[in-house]
Amino acid sequence: MGAEKRLVDTVWLRGLVPLHSLTPDHLRELARKFSIEELPVGARVFEAGERDGKAVYLLSGEVELAAPGKPAQGLLAGSDPARHPLAPHQPRRFTARAVSPVSIVRIDIDLLDTMLERWRTDSCEGTELGDKVAHRRGDAEAACDAEAARVAAEEEVRRLRSELSVLERRAQAQRIKSSRAALARHRAEQEAEQVREAEAARRQVAIEAARKQAEQEMLRLQASEVARRRRADAEVARLRVEVDAARRKAIGEAERAVQAEAARQRVEGEARLRAEAETARERAEAEVRKVREQAGAEVHRIREQAEVEVRKVREQAEAARRVAEAEARRMRKAVTILEQRLDAEQVRSREREEAARIKEAYQAITSPDSPEGAVSAPPVVPEPAAPVREKPPPRPRKRLPGPDPTPPLDFV
C-alpha cells in the first residue's frame, strides 16, 4: 500500500478505547510491538469482507467508511467515534478509504485481549493485597469482577453512544441529501420547461417572420409589375405624341411650300406658275409620302418593341406568381410539421411530469422519516403510448392574385 511507518507514542494510545484503562507499563509494552502507518489520499485501509484479526485506530486525518448498498460516512480523527476501533467486526462490514493523509495503528486483537486480561488480573491482585479488611479470597474476586463489569458496562455505554451519534449524523446527512436532490430535480425541471417554452416562442416568431417576409415579397413583385406596366403605358403615350407632332409638322411644311409656289407663279406668270405649281405639288406629295413611310415604319418599330416589352413583363409576373405560390405551399407545409412537433413535445412533457410526480411520491414513501421504515421496490409505471395525431384536413389553398391583363395598345 506504500505506507510509511514510525514508532507509536503512548500519548496516542492513552486516548483510545479500551486502551485508556491500561497501566503505563502495559501501554509502553504495547507501543513497542506496533508502529504508526502513514497512508496517502485514496489509500485503502481495509476492504469489506476481510478477516485480518487487527483492531485499526485512526490517529490523524479523515477516512470514509462505505458498505455495499449503503451511503458512505466520514470519520474524523479526534472525534468520539474515532477513539474506538474502525469497523471492529470480523469479517469487515465496511471498506475504509483515506479521504486525506491519515495516520493509523493496527493492533492484534488477540494481543489486545491478552493485555486487557493481564490488566484485569493485576488489578484484581492489587485489590486483594491492598484490602486490609477482607479476609477471604472470594470477596476479593467478587470486587474484581464487579470492577471489571463496571468498566465493561462503561465501555459498552460509550460504544452505544458513539454508534447512536453516528446513526443520527447519517440520518441527518441522508435527509439533507434527499432535500438537495429534490431541490435540484425541481430546478432542472423548471429550467427544462423554460427552455421548451423559449424554443416554442422562437419557432413561432420564425414562422411569423417567414410569413411576413413572403407577404412582403409578394407585394413587392406586384408593385414592380404595376410600375413596369405604367412605364410601358407612358412610353407608348410619348411615342404617340411624337408621331402626331411629326405628322403635323410635315403637313405644315407642305402647306407653306404650296403657298410659296403659288405666290411665285402669280408673279412670274400664269404658265410658269402653273408649271412650277405642278412641280411643287409633285415634290410635296413625294415628301409627304416619304414622311408618311418613315412615320409608319417608326410607329411599327415602336409598336413591336412595346409588345415585346409587355410580353416580357407578363412572363416575369407569371414566374413571380408561381414562385410566390410555391413558397406559400412550402411555408404552409412547414407550419403543419411544426404544429405536429409541438403537439408531440407537449405529450412528452405531460408524460415526464407524471413520471416525476410518481417518483416524488415513491421517494416520500421510502424516505427515512416514513413511519414504516422499510424500503420497497419502486413501482413499475408503464410508459404511456404516444397518442397518434390524426392528420388534419387539408387547408383550402389561397389563390394569389394574378397580374392584371394589359390593355391592348392602340396606335391609331
Domain residue limits, the chain = 4-123, 203-363
Tens of pLDDT, residues 116-141:
887 777 655 544 444 443 444 455 45
Is residue 407 pLDDT above 70, yes or no?
no
3-state secondary structure at position 236: helix
Tell me the average pLDDT across 186-207.
82
Q: Output the pLDDT for position 369.
A: 59
Looking at residue 390, what is its pLDDT? 53
Given a cut of 70, whether residue 205 has pLDDT beyond it is yes
pLDDT in tens, 322-356: 998 998 899 999 999 998 999 899 999 999 999 99
% of the chain surpassing 90 pLDDT? 14
Q: What is the pLDDT of residue 110?
A: 86
CATH number of 4-123: 2.60.120.10
% residues pLDDT > 70 (the chain): 76
- Per-residue pLDDT at 122: 63
Task: Using alpha carbons only, give the angle 259, 261, 266 rounded to the nearest 5 degrees.
Answer: 95
Order of strands across the sheet that contains 44-46: 44-46, 95-98, 62-66, 73-76
Q: What is the DSSP letter of 100?
A: S
- Work out the average pLDDT over 48-63: 90
Q: How confident is residue 276, by pLDDT bands cut at 50, 70 and 90?
A: confident
Q: Residue 144 is inside which H or E element, if any?
A: helix 137-268
Q: Over 70: is that where the pLDDT of 280 sits?
A: yes
41, 225, 306, 313, 326 from 400: Cα distances, Å = 77, 14, 27, 18, 11
Question: Is the pLDDT reported for residue 212 higher than 80?
Answer: yes
Tell me the pLDDT tens digit for each residue of 363-393: 888 876 555 444 444 554 555 555 545 555 5
Residue given cell 409505471 in the structure block? 381
The string of pLDDT tens digits covering residues 231-255 is: 888 888 888 898 888 888 889 888 8
What secondary structure letter does DSSP report for 18? T
pLDDT at 41: 92
The per-residue DSSP string of 330-392 comes to HHHHHHHHHHHHHHHHHHHHHHHHHHHHHHHHHHHHHSTTSSS----PPP-PPPPPPPPPPPP
Q: Is the pLDDT of residue 88 over 70?
A: yes
Residue 178 has a pLDDT of 64
Instruction: Note the pLDDT tens digit of each residue in 5-26.
Output: 566 667 777 788 888 778 788 7
